[in-house]
Structure 1
């Protein structure tokens, strides 16, 4: 189809429309302002990956957050609708799980037929036209999902989730939901004449739900390849009279060679004949947008196209509203797309000091609709969900194996072993990499994890895991494990044997890049220079600091393969660790590291965070080094495994100084 329109050279922000009544002037989209008598502007708005983040509130940290919340996204809907001639609102999935409100509704309050979930309360206020499923809809089981979605006053579509075995013809599959809907949308054209456009919406969910939620779906459901389902159903939609076909693809954008059951298949969905526009999600990214998509064939991240067709991904947690604006033209009795624009409009921005500034306020109707559940969730996150048999603290995380890092590794290992048990990697040994996020430094002498033994609440998890990362697994060799640890060992200054009170910590090295790898044992030889600088560049001809690296009591085999559980930042190359790049990723988890830690605590009931002492410094007789930590750590100094620590007096800026006897 032709996607250029010579008349429309203005941008949305350069055109003002409406009556000039004081300062209250509506900024019309060019399509709405310039549509001819046989043309109309149709704007479709997307929310995606809300993950129960209705309110602009981080329940883990127990404080407001201006970067998130459907109440904020909702507040710009009226304005966005006013810019358009005609509009529709869709949701692209991942509604029901992802923050403590979701867990509260599933585990504490529960849902039965007729109950109204807060997500549905909010969405019904906003009058959505249609939605599809995300992979997280299945986390609490099918009954829970159906009870929640039963409260929607809009249709849910999904063309690749079946009740049983796949039929030879996808159109013969027995589906849980309608594969598509065709909505009669009354519109006004450029001359003000009213017409009806038949807009078809088809939905897709990642086939990987059969792995991620096997315990909830095995024997009850099956999934079909997304693109195969699209190729089967889109012609049926056209035959049924759809003028415009819109794909709701809860699937990201990946330019790799297409494979059956591909997780991030939205690029190839766009290539299916008959589809006019694609709404994407799942990856928690913004499209159109910079850098992420550079070099991907058939992807235009500036114009916002996949195979030349308009596409958008509206961030996550309500951070953006995805917009696809279509100029449609009547061709005989039907309508066709003749031009388009795409945009992911944010709800906040960073100012010149990199501080978050809210661009919108809450929509009061949504706040009122979920007030009861919000307050109940606050009580829930402040209520114990388990116990810890020992204190969780990070005061000595940079000088010895540490309980706050240990519990993260325990949870990651537990999770990845379960996720990979039915995959080709099930027989590989699983290691876990985790770093201390709260370790003083420039954030001050109180910036440490400190959770006492006893009851542990969900909000304590933000003390253990500061960032909303998601879990990843990489497969690397024993040699690459050593390289990973060599990079981490840049945390320390070189210490000459026999020195007294040498400064230990390299203050230019961030603590979040000091990864401890659990599942192997090793020593760090401080007498040797670092092999890598803080930017991951190899320096000099150092043989390295990591010595006595062993797996299961034997020297590690450099060629042996290991699965390492980590996070999306590290697995994607964050920190510039040697050879740890995106091509090593074998598993992209649908869950955040925080969620995994909470689930682990809930399952265990009482966790044992005691560090196993799998790493230490190599002995250097007659040598001591000094470091600073929070003064509240004094009570734990005698309990640190694998290290002899002595009080060395007061440090600067409220810190306490300690001596490490090497």
Structure 2
């Protein structure tokens, strides 16, 4: 017979059971934490998810196991099972960057009472905080204030308390032009109870107060000028840290975590620096640094050799730091060890390190095995966004015309402009119609157009634009024009045009004709979306054997050499026209047309008017490499099995050399042909 419990005994037994389970702390366990105590805390980070909630490619209309927040969620759950003490933060570029995001922002905007799909997914995982990246501002301040649940005292801002994420967003370096106050809280304190151990090995549960402060890239004022000019101001990252860290430190948090949507750059600091993480790490008082924006991983080989950076253990100027990839492909983890000394927690740097955990293994030669080894999707995420996901698919399948040719970016760097020519044609057509109304004095100035391939394999072998011949849908336009930029036109001259093309030509390494070994054609440090290719009756030659700044050896318009003072209008996007990419002569001061329309929408309207596009609608490739005979092969990496695409585009000088077994191959290009 079981002993009978008195009413008084029952809660005592329950307490004993709870204590054994580690669920309840005794009163003396939650008091002052003794010196000599030790704790391990894992700081988990996502960044640059870009609203890729599901493992799905909306351009190809098929699942894609290599990305998706639903798989990052699995890594988060595994990390929490591994570490008893965790904090979870997001470093920004969260709400924009996928068809799903555009659908919820532009096509059928969510209401004040509706939470964005990406935030619903993140709330399911229980975040402790985050910050705003540059792409948070792409849809305007009213949308941003609404979907983050943050009333903003700015022109056009949302003043209601709408549905937003269930975690705090902090941002210290963007201020309202009305009152000078930050548009988000610059900092806040997150409190957690953590498990620690005393010197004698006793387990205790104690509170941990973590201060967080956030920063976004200052160049947002250039990149999103049409959304931000006159409404907000921005300060440098270091200046904002010096301004608000003392306030945060006055609250005596146990740790301070800086959440920066930015990477690492050791160039001389300026308040406009895009990737100021190296300098932010030098501001006293920061215990851990979360990075983003660069779409790469830290710790990682890209940062090996950088001054005062440990690219293996994950330290920047002796501050533990991490940057966890992009599109939901990775989870950043800082494993902090804390020692209690003189009444405060101190980071044990010798036993602390960072790592980036991918959802799929890297470096595997067997693409099939690699795919099978990807972590599974967390089953709790997809049902939260299914309705919006299905609506986005229906939207991108809206027919808009047809094409008689394949438009791809597989060989955009080598001269196949089929994916860029429709953009250039649509942009130029728009400006030739609209500009004379605003500036009759410019009606006779030649209009050129610049476009860059946004998808050139940076994200893997599937990260290319590829629109098949046949019916065109809104999905085709979204594939051709990936970002939600607006259209801008700038006035320049022949000298400015040549400088523009010289900057673009930095996409290529300098090739030595006498070198016997392999030479890489593509400069991996110069991003593909900064390789502008310009059309509109011009033709130019790029000589990759010459030094940077001396590569455009021929430049003509309508068959005649371009003179340095010859006027031109060049159509581009708001990012480039306002200084994005640091092109010479482009700082926003020579914009003659800033369209309210998105470039993608302008492209859609042009495709609808053409009904069927083919060679007759598109200008041929406007440039070529200077003939160059080399002793050794000139090579580049691309998607496997695409040599036929090159051949169909007239690039018969490209041949496949080596299959890497992961969906990529090495191609050789004969520059003498």
In the alignment, the residues of structure 2 paired with residue 437 and residue 74 of structure 1 have an alpha-carbon distance, to the nearest angstrom, of 26
Q: Does 1:341 align with 2:356?
A: no
Which aligned pairs between 1:2-401 and structure 2 lie closer than 5 A?
38-150=37-149, 151-164=164-177, 173-190=180-197, 191-290=202-301, 292-339=302-349, 340-349=352-361, 350-354=363-367, 356-357=370-371, 358-384=373-399, 386=400, 391=404, 393-394=406-407
In the alignment, the residues of structure 1 paired with residue 448 and residue 567 of structure 2 have an alpha-carbon distance, to the nearest angstrom, of 10
Secondary structure at the residue paired with 2:303? coil
Contact 1:50/1:94 (<8 A) preserved: yes
In the alignment, the residues of structure 2 paired with residue 198 and residue 436 of structure 1 have an alpha-carbon distance, to the nearest angstrom, of 42
Deviation per CA, 1:144-167: give whole Å up to 9, x if none. Answer: 22222222111111111211268x
Contact 2:467/2:476 (<8 A) preserved: no
TM-score w.r.t. length of structure 2 = 0.64
Contact 1:314/1:322 (<8 A) preserved: yes
Q: What corresponds to 1:555 in structure 2?
A: 561
- Greater displacement, 309-318 / 345-354: 345-354
Secondary structure at the residue paired with 1:53? coil
- How has the CA–CA distance of structure 1 residues 363 and 414 changed in structure 2, closer, same or farther, with 3 Å as cutoff? farther
Deviation per CA, 1:100-122: give whole Å up to 9, x if none. Answer: 00011112221222112111211
Contact 1:97/1:137 (<8 A) preserved: yes
Contact 2:44/2:88 (<8 A) preserved: yes
Question: Cα distance, 1:365 vs. partner?
Answer: 0.6
Q: What corresponds to 1:478 in structure 2?
A: 498
Contact 1:160/1:179 (<8 A) preserved: yes
TM-score w.r.t. length of structure 1 = 0.65
In the alignment, the residues of structure 1 paired with residue 506 and residue 266 of structure 2 have an alpha-carbon distance, to the nearest angstrom, of 33
Q: What corresponds to 2:600 in structure 1?
A: 598
Q: What corresponds to 2:535 in structure 1?
A: 518
- How has the CA–CA distance of structure 1 residues 199 and 402 changed in structure 2, closer, same or farther, with 3 Å as cutoff? closer
Deviation per CA, 1:625-652: give whole Å up to 9, x if none. Answer: xxx978x99xx99xxxxxxxxxxxxxxx
Question: Cα distance, 1:294 vs. partner?
Answer: 3.8
- Greater displacement, 264-273 / 140-149: 140-149
Secondary structure at the residue paired with 1:327? strand
Which aligned pairs between 1:578-657 and structure 2 lie closer than 5 A?
598-602=600-604, 606=608, 610-613=617-620, 615=622
- How has the CA–CA distance of structure 1 residues 49 and 196 changed in structure 2, closer, same or farther, with 3 Å as cutoff? same
Deviation per CA, 1:171-215: give whole Å up to 9, x if none. Answer: xx4122211111222111123111112110001112222222222
Secondary structure at the residue paired with 1:601? helix
In the alignment, the residues of structure 2 paired with residue 205 and residue 415 of structure 1 have an alpha-carbon distance, to the nearest angstrom, of 33
Question: Cα distance, 1:484 vs. partner?
Answer: 8.2
Contact 2:499/2:584 (<8 A) preserved: no
Contact 1:161/1:222 (<8 A) preserved: yes
Q: What corresponds to 2:473 in structure 1?
A: 456
Secondary structure at the residue paired with 1:200? strand
Contact 2:49/2:93 (<8 A) preserved: yes
- Greater displacement, 42-51 / 366-375: 366-375
Q: Aligned pairs, how many? A: 512
In the alignment, the residues of structure 1 paired with residue 118 and residue 507 of structure 2 have an alpha-carbon distance, to the nearest angstrom, of 44
Contact 1:161/1:175 (<8 A) preserved: yes
Contact 2:130/2:170 (<8 A) preserved: yes
In the alignment, the residues of structure 2 paired with residue 99 and residue 177 of structure 1 have an alpha-carbon distance, to the nearest angstrom, of 24
Question: Cα distance, 1:326 vs. partner?
Answer: 1.0
Contact 1:320/1:344 (<8 A) preserved: yes
Secondary structure at the residue paired with 1:94? coil
- Gap regions ≥5 residues in structure 1: 1-34, 167-172, 419-426, 489-507, 525-530, 539-543, 568-581, 590-594, 618-627, 638-662
Question: Cα distance, 1:331 vs. partner?
Answer: 2.2
- How has the CA–CA distance of structure 1 residues 476 and 345 changed in structure 2, closer, same or farther, with 3 Å as cutoff? farther
- How has the CA–CA distance of structure 1 residues 272 and 516 changed in structure 2, closer, same or farther, with 3 Å as cutoff? closer
Secondary structure at the residue paired with 2:51? coil
- Greater displacement, 143-152 / 116-125: 143-152
In the alignment, the residues of structure 2 paired with residue 91 and residue 114 of structure 1 have an alpha-carbon distance, to the nearest angstrom, of 23
Secondary structure at the residue paired with 2:321? strand
Q: What corresponds to 2:422 in structure 1?
A: 407
In the alignment, the residues of structure 2 paired with residue 586 and residue 124 of structure 1 have an alpha-carbon distance, to the nearest angstrom, of 44
Question: Cα distance, 1:381 vs. partner?
Answer: 1.6
In the alignment, the residues of structure 1 paired with residue 37 and residue 329 of structure 2 have an alpha-carbon distance, to the nearest angstrom, of 36
Contact 2:498/2:552 (<8 A) preserved: no
Contact 1:432/1:565 (<8 A) preserved: yes
In the alignment, the residues of structure 1 paired with residue 502 and residue 187 of structure 2 have an alpha-carbon distance, to the nearest angstrom, of 51
Question: Cα distance, 1:585 vs. partner?
Answer: 8.2
In the alignment, the residues of structure 1 paired with residue 545 and residue 367 of structure 2 have an alpha-carbon distance, to the nearest angstrom, of 28
Contact 2:48/2:295 (<8 A) preserved: yes
Contact 1:476/1:564 (<8 A) preserved: no
CA RMSD of aligned residues (A): 5.0
